[in-house]
Amino acid sequence: METESKASQAITEKMEQIEPGTPRYNVLDTARRFKTTWVDLGRTLWEVRQKKLFLQWGYEKFDDYCQGEIRIKPRTASKLTASYSFLKTEEPSVLRRDGVEKPVPDVQVIDMLRRIHDDDDFPRKEFERIKEIAFDDASLAKVRQEVREHRPEPAPPPRAQLIKRLLTQANRLAEAIASADGLPPAITERAVALADDLRTLGDE
């Protein structure tokens, strides 16, 4: 979002032009209270996108509405709506929390849960355990630590793929050195030789 003061001021000015109680007014009001009500904003934005209400308000695209009217970047809006949708499907009881006696997890926590839920390589048993920890009001740092401990290490790329990538980089380096002024020819020769060696490895 923009700095809070500017965004809040712009939203307030927009609200003054719209009839209170209308859906458009309510979304703006929720956006203004975003820091304490991300679930409310996620829900209202989800409804705006599902029902294409932004078309009625003069915007051709949902992203244009978010950025132009409620001063939220499209990436932030996507995170909010996706996180709300995830809770709606996976744990609707969290959406009914009052936010005081039982806090709602931070949107960053829910977004991380959503992403590991969609990761087929992440162990399902560990996902359920981390989800329980997250819904018990764990901090973002704690959830990140748990995810790092159980996320499988990515497999190294195949040898041929690695050599191909290195050869591309070596060719670029050789070209850059050759076009640079004032460098000794020996450096260019070594860079070209390196690229040739990698090319030979790739042909084996």
Which pLDDT does position 8 carry in this prediction? 67
Tokens (6 digits) for 147: 């995810």
What is the mean pLDDT of the segment spanning 71-93? 92
Number of Cβ within 10 Å of residue 16's Cβ equals: 9
Residue 96's SS3 state is coil
What is the mean pLDDT of the segment spanning 170-178? 90
Q: Is the dihedral of CA 170, 174, 176, 177 positive or negative?
A: positive
> Looking at the predicted structure, is the pLDDT value of residue 85 above 90?
yes
Query: By mean pLDDT, which of 46-60, 82-96, 129-143, 146-160 is the weakest?
Result: 146-160
> Looking at the predicted structure, is the pLDDT value of residue 87 above 50?
yes
Which pLDDT does position 101 carry in this prediction? 63
Q: What is the mean pLDDT of the chain?
A: 85
Which pLDDT does position 30 carry in this prediction? 79
| Helix pair 124-135, 107-117: axis angle to 10 deg | 170
- Give per-residue pLDDT as tens, 100-157: 567 788 899 999 999 999 888 888 888 899 988 888 877 888 888 888 887 655 667 7
Exposure string over 42-79, b if 16+ CB within 10 A, otherwise e: bbbbbebbeeebbeeeebeebbebbbbbbbbeeebbbb
